Structure 1
Amino acid sequence: MSLIDDARALLATGPLCDACLGRPVADRSFGLTNTERGRALRTAVALDDDDPFEEPEADCWVCEGICDRFDELADRVVEALGETELYTYQVGTRIPPLVEENERLLRLDAGFEEDAGEPLKTEVNREVGRRVGAELGAEVDFERPDVQFLIDLTGEDVDVQVQRNSVTIYGRYRKLQRDIPQTEWEKFDESVEELVAPPFLSAFRGTEAVFHGAGREDVDALMLNSGRPFALEIKQPRRRDADLDELAEAVNTGTDGKVEVTDLAFATYDIVERVKEHDATKTYRATVDFDDSVSEADFEAALAELDDTTIEQRTPHRVSHRRADLVRERTVLSIDGTLEDDLTATIDVHGEGGLYIKELISGDEGRTEPSLAGLLGVGATVRTLDVIDVQGVDEPFLTEEYQVNREGTPVSGE
């Protein structure tokens, strides 16, 4: 059948608006909106039948007036946004089940396949979406937009739901005081998360800030030098831009020297999983106390035995209450040290991620083999432990598209 014959069959089902007339054949003609396509078909049918052109009926039996409300729906979306900044957006729609059934019946009654053309939902998303984009001056993003709108048309009134996707910041933190956990812990008054998050939460006007570290050091360990990679996820932000240098300054001067942050950068959301799953090598510096005297020769021999050696570590006693009791293999990539006196040493260890340093030194009652204490035949305890280096997450943190979308100042609803 020709397009004119198909249009004639569609019009025979009942009163149709131009959009509902054009939509079932949207895959067979291009370069037009469904409304323009339907208008052209209506005109062609009138000319072919030598009948006067008739405007479409006011009450379309298929969409029940939805296609006449694109401007109104776009206004409702912008109104629902409120004072929220965004660079990118996406519009979705929930269509009434009765209207979806009308869509199906239209095609069946006209002799079409049920999936012919384009669904009404797709048209509403596109037509309302382009109006919203024009109003806000924002770009559509079908992957992870700054803001997602859901227009729910299933109730008596239009309900627009607004999902503000997280702002994610990548950086590194240095922990300069002991007995501070990485994240909130009821046994301690503060954490790295609680010290770092407040300025970001305020700047981006979010509802919550979630801290993700690339591993974590022991509570009593310092994190020094270049620091540990982290991602900070600001939930439901109403602002999408801020001066990260100013935020770093706010953290670094506002924590009484306990925590510092560096290398802050806006990042795409996938950095969260990359940070959490990052199995970085780490370098530690431990101050070690021996129970009995240790000679220089024995000390050097024990370190040589551990250097570039694979260690078997059963889950340490100190964390067995929260971790599965397993035996893990980890490699000591390098180890070096200085015997300060016959009872004290300073030891630097570069190891695979997940290597328990305190147990590498003490042996943990035989749960770690080999260990420094076991090789020396002398009890050994880590008095202080500092993390000197954590390998970073591979750059770049920002995709090219993300960087382009962030150019200029974010737009804001009113």
Structure 2
Amino acid sequence: MDPLEKAREVLRQYPLCDSCLGRLFAAMGYGVENSERGRAIKTLLHMRLVYDYRNGIDATEDLKALGRVHAPTRRFLASNGIGMEEARCYICGGLLRDVEKYAEGVAKALEQIEFGTFQIGSVVPKDVLEREREIVAKFGIETGESIKHEINRRIGRAVGELLKRPANKERPDVVATVSLVDGTIKVARNPLLLLGRYIKLSRVVSQGKPVPGALKTVEEVLDPVRSRFGGPALVLHAAGREDFDVRMLGNGRPAVVEIKEPARYRGDLSGLTTDWVILSPLKPGTRNDVREMKAKSKTSIKLYRAVALSDRPVSAEDLARLKALEGAVVVQRTPRRIKRLNPRARRRRMVYNIEVYQVADRVLELFIRCQGGLYVKEFVTGDGGRTQPSVAETLGASLEVVELDVLDVE
């Protein structure tokens, strides 16, 4: 496609400013702003038309069409007795003439937030977008970019120069949306995601929502981390979950701490130590880290310690039978204690290794290495036959789990 001929076709029917004309050919060239490209196209077209006119070729109508949006062409026409008035751009109506003026408003809106990177969004009048689509479709333009893209880039560049910070479309801390409809500026603070691990030392702390019997939640214990960054709320994403009466020991459970709408994106990442929960040093993360962590938790290997009380004395011969559970695929229906899930749902999880120590005639200490997602309490008790095979079924005894700890999460 010859850009000059295509530009001549477009300008015969539509007056376009430098930016809107140049944007139709944005993919033809690199490192040139649309206004520069449009101005260059008009200048070259002006030279060709003036050449034709002076050599006896009737280019008057094309010169008039170009003159509506090109001052040198208007001056040339005036010198030949043809007066022309400047026309408004058909697409933007002059909206792009000083779009950078919004940069100062954006900078002011961001001044109370301690951030590293930003992104600009925009709301453009619908009729402007419709007129742009009309021209693109009518002339089969395949080399252009959208007016929103240009607006966002130009304002973003100006804001970056004012604040000495880079725009970042992939992972911005904040997003400022400029409305070219009513002139308003709205700022959205993206969540701050921090990677770490937590150790839970207490048997009265629930991981997520408050539950009967729990005195606190892990999220409540971690509230000082939230206050470091000035956000209104903290959400904990973890690789699996433990019941409130289960300790999480060893090197801790992988987790992502999400701070909602932080006022600061840089702060103390040293972790946290309390009597209830220990949080490891933190590092910045992404939403993809959360997805990968959640997906991995379904298959990762975990090590548990359980203390169980039997309804009868257990012999050494009984304990020897438990070796048969190593390598077993355990089929579990949803435990009766869990009301929020389908009670008929089944899951299959592998038990890799089991070691048992007899603490007393009726007290056993079990170390169970298994696939993530195994309901370990029910694997020990059998849950009334809803989990098979189980430790209780193999022993031929009724078992109650007195203590349960997570010792390692892969």
User: Which of 303, 326, 333 is residue 283 of structure 1 equivalent to?
Assistant: 303
1:63 corresponds to 2:63: no
1:92 corresponds to 2:121: yes
Deviation at 1:223, TM superposition (A): 1.0
TM-score (norm 1): 0.83
1:195 corresponds to 2:221: yes
Task: Provide closer, same or farther for how the CA distance between residues 321 and 141 of structure 1 changes in structure 2, counting only shifts above 3 A.
Answer: closer
Q: Tell me the SS of whatever aligns to 1:64.
A: coil
User: Is the CA contact (8 Å cut-off) linking 1:302 and 1:372 kept in structure 2?
Assistant: no
Flag structure 2 segments of 5+ consecutive residues without an equivalent: 51-62, 64-71, 76-84
C-alpha distance in 2, partners of 1:79/1:116?
35
User: Is the CA contact (8 Å cut-off) linking 2:322 and 2:395 kept in structure 1?
Assistant: no
Match of residue 210 from structure 2? 185
User: Which of 341, 366, 373 is residue 347 of structure 1 equivalent to?
Assistant: 366
What is the letter of the counterpart of residue 43 of structure 1? T
The structure with the largest alpha-carbon Rg is 2
User: Is the CA contact (8 Å cut-off) linking 1:313 and 1:329 kept in structure 2?
Assistant: yes
What is the letter of the counterpart of residue 293 of structure 1? P
Query: Residues 107-186 of structure 1 correspond to what in structure 2 (within 5 A)?
Result: 112-113=139-140, 117-154=144-181, 157-185=182-210
Deviation at 1:11, TM superposition (A): 4.2
C-alpha distance in 2, partners of 1:57/1:324?
74
1:217 corresponds to 2:242: yes
Deviation at 1:104, TM superposition (A): 4.3
Flag structure 1 segments of 5+ consecutive residues without an equivalent: 392-414
Task: Provide closer, same or farther for how the CA distance between residues 213 and 9 of structure 1 changes in structure 2, counting only shifts above 3 A.
Answer: same
User: Is the CA contact (8 Å cut-off) linking 2:10 and 2:139 kept in structure 1?
Assistant: no
Match of residue 396 from structure 1? none
Task: Provide closer, same or farther for how the CA distance between residues 182 and 12 of structure 1 changes in structure 2, counting only shifts above 3 A.
Answer: same
Q: Tell me the SS of whatever aligns to 2:26.
A: helix
What is the letter of the counterpart of residue 391 of structure 2? L
What is the letter of the counterpart of residue 220 of structure 2? E
Task: Provide closer, same or farther for how the CA distance between residues 289 and 36 of structure 1 changes in structure 2, counting only shifts above 3 A.
Answer: same
Task: Provide closer, same or farther for how the CA distance between residues 370 and 22 of structure 1 changes in structure 2, counting only shifts above 3 A.
Answer: closer
User: Is the CA contact (8 Å cut-off) linking 1:179 and 1:220 kept in structure 2?
Assistant: yes
User: Is the CA contact (8 Å cut-off) linking 2:336 and 2:343 kept in structure 1?
Assistant: no
Match of residue 399 from structure 2? 380
Query: Residues 70-81 of structure 1 correspond to what in structure 2 (within 5 A)?
Result: 70-81=99-110
Deviation at 1:133, TM superposition (A): 2.0
C-alpha distance in 2, partners of 1:319/1:3?
67
Q: Tell me the SS of whatever aligns to 1:139.
A: coil
Match of residue 291 from structure 2? 273
> How many residues are aligned here?
378
Higher RCO structure, 1 or 2 (CA under 8 Å, sep 6+)? 1
C-alpha distance in 2, partners of 1:333/1:122?
54
Q: Greater shift after overlay, 60-69 or 215-224?
A: 60-69
C-alpha distance in 2, partners of 1:377/1:118?
72
Q: Tell me the SS of whatever aligns to 2:384.
A: coil
Task: Provide closer, same or farther for how the CA distance between residues 362 and 102 of structure 1 changes in structure 2, counting only shifts above 3 A.
Answer: closer
Match of residue 41 from structure 1? 41
* Two-structure CA RMSD over aligned residues (Å): 2.5
Identity %: 38
User: Is the CA contact (8 Å cut-off) linking 1:184 and 1:190 kept in structure 2?
Assistant: no
Task: Provide closer, same or farther for how the CA distance between residues 357 and 58 of structure 1 changes in structure 2, counting only shifts above 3 A.
Answer: same
Deviation at 1:356, TM superposition (A): 1.9
C-alpha distance in 2, partners of 1:26/1:176?
60
Query: Residues 248-327 of structure 1 correspond to what in structure 2 (within 5 A)?
Result: 248=271, 251-252=272-273, 255=274, 257-277=275-295, 278-279=297-298, 280-299=300-319, 301-320=320-339, 322-327=341-346
Match of residue 390 from structure 2? 371
Task: Provide closer, same or farther for how the CA distance between residues 65 and 349 of structure 1 changes in structure 2, counting only shifts above 3 A.
Answer: same
Q: Tell me the SS of whatever aligns to 1:285.
A: strand
C-alpha distance in 1, partners of 2:28/2:344?
63
TM-score (norm 2): 0.84
